[in-house]
Amino acid sequence: MADGTDQVTDSMSNLSTGDPSAAEAPSKNALKKELKKKKKEEENRLKEEEKKKKAAAVPQSNKPLAADDEDMDPTQYYENRLKVLALLKEAGTNPYPHKFHVSMTIDEYIEQYKVLSDGTHLKDVEVNLAGRIMNKRTSSSKLYFYDLYGGGLKVQVMADARDSDMDEVEFSKYHNSVKRGDIVGICGYPGKSKRGELSVFPKRFIVLSPCLHMMPRQKAGPGAENASNKNNEVKTTSDVWTPGMLRNPETYVLKDQETRYRQRYLDLMLNHEVRQIFKTRAKIINHIRDFLNKLDFLEVETPMMNMIAGGAAAKPFVTHHNDLNMKLFMRIAPELYLKELVVGGLDRVYEIGKQFRNEGIDLTHNPEFTTCEFYMAFADYNDLMVLTEEMISGMVKALTGGYKIKYHAKGVDNDPIEIDFTPPFRRIDMIEELEKAANLNIPKDLSSEETNKYLLNACEKFDVKCPPPQTTTRLLDKLVGHFLEETCVNPTFIINHPEIMSPLAKWHRSKPGLTERFELFINKHEVCNAYTELNDPVVQRQRFAEQLKDRQSGDDEAMALDETFCTALEYGLPPTGGWGLGIDRLTMLFTDSQNIKEVLLFPAMKPQDEPSTKG
């Protein structure tokens, strides 16, 4: 294997003479552009310098070599690199070696050698590191500096011809062919520069996977690299983003949202905070899993394709099974299947998984999203409120160390708010509070025509918009949104929803017309929805029938009857509390994300008019 990579190294350097990208005679225009750009950069840099009031240490002006081919047209750049690859292959060399043995991660390397004193070189130690080159600085033909990134962390590479196993000419040729963005492997020794920067000094330096495209620039811009070294240093140590802290994607190296979401790998590569979002997401899910496992819940998997899309009210995706010639719907909720398992005797079950809704895409909606639902036999909604408080506040504590998080509720341009997760959470009774807040006196029989008229009037009076169909359910929903949800910034339970709004929830044990249900709102958005489950099959059938009425009056989001589920209830569902949580929305809160796309690796995007441009 070592032979293989050696070969690569050799031929790479041999061929770099034929590297068209090394053409260092740019066109007149390009020269002008370059000059202009440089001037501007120089100005920017000076300004920055002043701002920081850093004493002395005037950065060396960049040598022309460093300008490299960064100002080349991207298509030209790409084609040049393709040519280099083709030449390498022609010469019988694989530019993509099969294996490079990595002896430690960059994280481990920093951990182990950060204690070195300035100027120390451990020449007898050999380490093998690998990662992506995100910065290249040419000091001379015998000395190259690189920033090597791996696992979100950076270490400096100081490639000195004297350390290399190549001769000087070879060395220079090889390193000229190395581009920003390349993935490289380094066999070398650890050390610290005199200025105290932890570095690795390569004896061998192997490109493992070349980057064929021009990488978007670091925000500091070229020329400022030497100067910004120290700043980067500070950034990577004390300014690391953790959950609950503020974030501002507008300061990212790669800002363009379309590119960030469509080419998430670029986003991850260039905006180091982004990987923390997805680590936070994984931590949130792990926290939920641990919490439920400790309570003896069993994780299960139920079908994502159903004959009937039940368990919620939403437009489903439709697909077709060819072999069985069967129409199938993508699930909109796992609720009915999970309850069937409780009927079957699994007293505590949960499922974390994707749901699918054929709805529009906006800041809080993606066609597929992740939820956790759990069902707990012999518990009711009171028990679940306590569990919810424990789970969510415990999660905030575990992620952030405290109960308060900061969040840009009104966008990054406005002051952030603070959200306090200290338990217990506020509880407000839906109808009671609505009547108080809007000074209403809603007729007791919520399913009556009279109530519908009353609420219609109320909506008009307060200028609360409710596009048709104006069913009582929808009118109430809009009023609650306007008067109550708006007040729910810190976690708040809105409880005891009317029966007509909650076809799967059990009627309230003491309040006629209402159900034992709660929704948890945080920052005015619903995060949890739970209830004492309706387990009387006769009443369940009636509720489905009422939904059908709403359907006929044009509300196509009313629930469909699931006969299999009703039959299951006839075998007896124990008293059960059921609970659902939107994992994406929770992740948004803890990562200061205003757009759901920030927390999805590959969000659904509208089709582009033109094929995606390279780079």
**Residue numbers 71-110 binding other proteins by CB under 8 A:** 78, 82, 85-86, 94-102, 105
Using an 8 Å Cβ cutoff, are 245 and 594 in contact? no
Q: Which of 141, 358, 364, 487 binds other proteins (CB under 8 A)?
A: 358
CB atoms within 10 A of CB 598: 22
Which of 205, 521 has the CB closer to other proteins?
205
Would you say 468 or 611 has its CB closer to other proteins? 611
Does position 235 interact with other proteins (CB under 8 A)? The reply is no
Closest separation in Å from C-beta 49 to other proteins? 30
CB of 64 to other proteins, least distance (A): 26
Of 51, 265, 294, 463, the residue at the interface with other proteins (CB under 8 A) is 265
Considering only residues 176 through 215, tell me which ones interact with other proteins, judged by CB under 8 A. 181-183, 185, 208-213, 215
- Note whether 313 and 546 are within 8 A (CB): no
Q: Which stretch binds other proteins (CB under 8 A): 6-14, 22-30, 148-156, 160-168?
A: 148-156
Pick the stretch among 154-162, 168-176, 271-279, 430-438 that binds other proteins (CB under 8 A): 271-279
Return the residues of window 243-262 that contact other proteins according to CB under 8 A. Answer: 262
Answer yes or no whether residue 340 interacts with other proteins by CB under 8 A: yes
> Quick one: how far is CA 481 from the chain centroid?
27
* C-alpha closest to that of 507 among 552, 567, 446, 565: 446
Buried-exposed string 457-475: b where 16+ CB fall within 10 A, e elsewhere: ebbeeeebebeebbbbbbb
3-state helix, strand, coil in the chain (%, to 5): 40, 20, 40
In the complex, minimum distance from the CB of residue 302 to other proteins, in angstroms, rounded to a whole number: 6
By beta-carbon proximity to other proteins, the closer residue of 5 and 138 is 5
Token couple for 149 = 């990134």
Does 4 bind other proteins (CB under 8 A)? Our answer is: yes
In whole angstroms, how close is the CB of 215 to other proteins at the nearest point? 8
Name residues contacting other proteins, limited to 485-524 (CB under 8 A).
Answer: 506, 509, 516
Q: Which of 220, 227, 254, 268 binds other proteins (CB under 8 A)?
A: 268
Number of residues that bind other proteins (CB under 8 A): 122
- The mark string for 433-462 relative to other proteins (x by CB under 8 A, - otherwise) is ------------------------------
Interface positions, 584-613, toward other proteins (CB under 8 A): 600-602, 604, 606-607, 611-612
556-575 binders of other proteins (CB under 8 A): 564, 567-568, 570-575
Residue 294 engages other proteins in binding (rule: CB under 8 A): no
Positive or negative, the CA dihedral 566, 572, 575, 581 is negative
What does the alpha-carbon distance between residue 143 and residue 572 come to, in Å, rounded to a whole number? 77
Preceding omega of 512 cis (within 30 degrees of 0): no
Q: Which of 8, 330, 387, 505 binds other proteins (CB under 8 A)?
A: 330
Report how far residue 374's alpha carbon sits from residue 335's, in angstroms, rounded to the nearest whole number: 9
For other proteins, the closer CB: 139 or 535 = 535
Contact pattern from residue 39 through residue 78 relative to other proteins, giving x for each residue in contact according to CB under 8 A and a dash for the rest: ---------------------------------------x
Please count the other Cβ atoms lying within 10 Å of the Cβ belonging to residue 17: 10
- Alpha-carbon span 13 to 91, nearest angstrom: 12
Q: What CA–CA distances, in Å, run from 613 to 59, 256, 260, 464? A: 36, 13, 13, 44
Sheet holding 305-306, edge to edge: 305-306, 326-330, 318-321
By CB under 8 A, name the one of 72, 104, 298, 314 that touches other proteins: 298
Angle formed by the axes of helices 74-90 and 2-15, nearest 10°: 120
Strands 517-522 and 492-495: antiparallel
- The DSSP code sequence of 471-483 is -HHHHHHHHHHHH
Mask for 398-427, x = binds other proteins (CB under 8 A): ------------------------------
Q: How far apart are CA 150 and CA 400, in angstroms?
A: 25
Q: Which two tokens stand for residue 7?
A: 């070969």
Residue 178 CB, nearest approach to other proteins (Å):
12
